[in-house]
Chain A
């Protein structure tokens, strides 16, 4: 392993590491645009110049591998002067329209100009004009004038998705990013080019003009879109509620996790948060009598549900759990089932259309926690359970989250099962055809409104954190189940998600020894 010195600090790095990554290890940031750890080295932007002793002139750090005994200086006068000059070249034809640019506030041109630029502009001529506001695909919009031709997006489409929609066309200062004729940037990962674009050339059409980025707060979370569980940051706008028509969650951004999603997420996950601020959200517990729906208080709903569970024999209760629930919720449910001796339970609802899958990130199972539900012991046959309901053997049917009408189960069978059960209880975030047939509706908090953990298909337990307050009176499922358990006379239930997880870790061997601290930001594997 080569040992080298960077700005006087010694570091040992694996062979093949370039100087940007080596410098990062000693806490030195080398400014760069075109280099991205997930992509090949292009050496396009020339900004990452460093001085290496015994070399005659500054060298680009991205394409220089660390070698034994190398002595690197990143802040010499010569390097600073080079950076300033390179910045000046990058900004020659840049329109400097930061006030109307969506990237402003998280733009590396802005950041590096303030840190390393600060030159007196000498450009006298008219800037080169290029196409502006060109939609490249369903999610991405291009402003060619702002582009600094780092080619990250081109390399992403060539190397990561392998679709190759983008290219650099024309020559000299007329070079511009564009689509090959007849192509559209519509691959399943197209949103990532917005994240890797260091400037405002590629911006998000969904996020366009919605919120200025400096109003956003980021919270670490996990994508609930499929069994992969990509690590994400949830960006919420709490400070200017009149923006984006009051939608609180502004966007999702991928968070690096080398073992799960590396730097990327798919578009389905990236734009799959809209239900959180949708009008279909359930916000108050309610009771339905025929056509009439009345809002009720939580205490009333909880005691009614508990009374219904108590009235029915354990064999007459069926529960359709959901793999969209967190481990904590599923454990609370398991405790309730054990407490009442209920055996009819299941969570796998076959989707109407089989989920798409690819060899990269997207998994066919569109539930984030199927493995968690399996490990916690909620496996069961939902078809049998619904058949029992149709045969009027089930008095209380409790459904979590699912819209049974939007599944591969025959609609007539589902309708008959819901009619067959005396009391149907629905717990979920959003209203659907199933919740409209439920006698009791208990609103659940969306994943961004609460704490919890998911177990992804690899067996990695990952935490998601609360980014916003729950909408209306919605509660996390563990809270609802805990209240029902207490109404049923169970011993005290934990008041926080973390404590539920501690109980789960103590009771289920796969989760043994895990704590929120141990899970941290990157997640921990379950023992199998």
Chain B
């Protein structure tokens, strides 16, 4: 450290000056906007959760399992997502599909969101486009570890987010979650 940095007060004052500069610049911008200057833009605080920012279409949100036209899962239980998952949070058990052309179907497909790191590799690895992370749902906390495990039925019931990025599916509330 230099001598100047060693003198505590100098650094503190420069910090305060930086914060104050941002404050006054924003205040000026907001005042100018209020007085009619539409091109002036100050920093805005979004009042989450009442107010929400639009999400990017690339956002990786809660997973869902895509259905075929007859409502059955597209998933063929090939375990590619389970294999590629760096968090080991996907649990698939395969079963025989009545149609030998499809061959395999998951009997069980659980995602432990308590472990998931939202890397999106499962979506990348899927050869059937059967798993997507486009629900727009980001709130799925739970009071227990088991509440974080989403089963095949829950994942199949989720819908993709609307064009504005807002969740179209009802946010599934784990049984143990209280208001």
A residues adjacent to B (C-beta < 8 A): 97, 99-100, 132-133, 208-209, 212, 214-215, 240, 242-243
Contacts and interface: CB of A to CB of B under 8 A. Distances in A.
Contact of A100 (B91, B103, B108): B103
Contacts of B103: 97, 100, 132-133
A209 to B, nearest CB: 4
Given A99-B78, A99-B127, A242-B93, A212 B101 contact: no
Given A99-B76, A209-B96, A240-B82, A132 B101 contact: yes
A214 B103 CA distance: 20
Nearest to B76: A100
A350 B76 CA distance: 49
Q: Is the interface of A mostly helix, strand, loop or mixed?
A: loop
B11 interface: no
Interface string B124-141: 000110000000000000
A209 B95 contact: yes
Contacts of B93: 242-243
Nearest to B125: A99
Contacts, number: 33
A311 B67 CA distance: 71
Given A132-B101, A132-B103, A209-B104, A100 B78 contact: yes
Given A100-B103, A132-B101, A132-B103, A242 B91 contact: yes
Nearest to B102: A100
Contacts of B100: 132-133
Specify which of B94, B101, B128 lies most central, judged by the most chain A CB atoms within 10 Å of its CB.
B94
Nearest to B126: A99
Contacts of B128: 99
Contacts of B127: 99
B18 to A, nearest CB: 52
26 contacts: A97-B103, A99-B78, A99-B80, A99-B127, A100-B76, A100-B77, A100-B78, A100-B102, A100-B104, A132-B100, A132-B101, A132-B103, A133-B96, A133-B100, A209-B77, A209-B94, A209-B95, A209-B96, A212-B83, A214-B83, A215-B83, A240-B82, A242-B91, A242-B93, A242-B108, A243-B93
B87 to A, nearest CB: 14
Interface string B56-95: 0000000000000000000011111011000000010111
Contacts of B108: 242
B2 to A, nearest CB: 54
B10 to A, nearest CB: 57
A214 B84 CA distance: 12
Contacts of A100: 76-78, 102-104
A89 B1 CA distance: 71
A142 to B, nearest CB: 11
Given A99-B127, A133-B100, A212 B91 contact: no
Contacts of A132: 100-101, 103
Closest 4 CB pairs of A and B: A99-B78, A133-B100, A209-B94, A132-B100
Contacts of B79: 212
A132 B100 CA distance: 6
| Residue of B79, B82, B96, B100 contacting most chain A CB atoms (<10 Å) | B79
A515 to B, nearest CB: 40
Output the residue of B80, B93, B95, B108 with the most chain A CB within 10 A.
B93
Nearest to A212: B79
A172 to B, nearest CB: 23
B106 to A, nearest CB: 10
A454 to B, nearest CB: 35
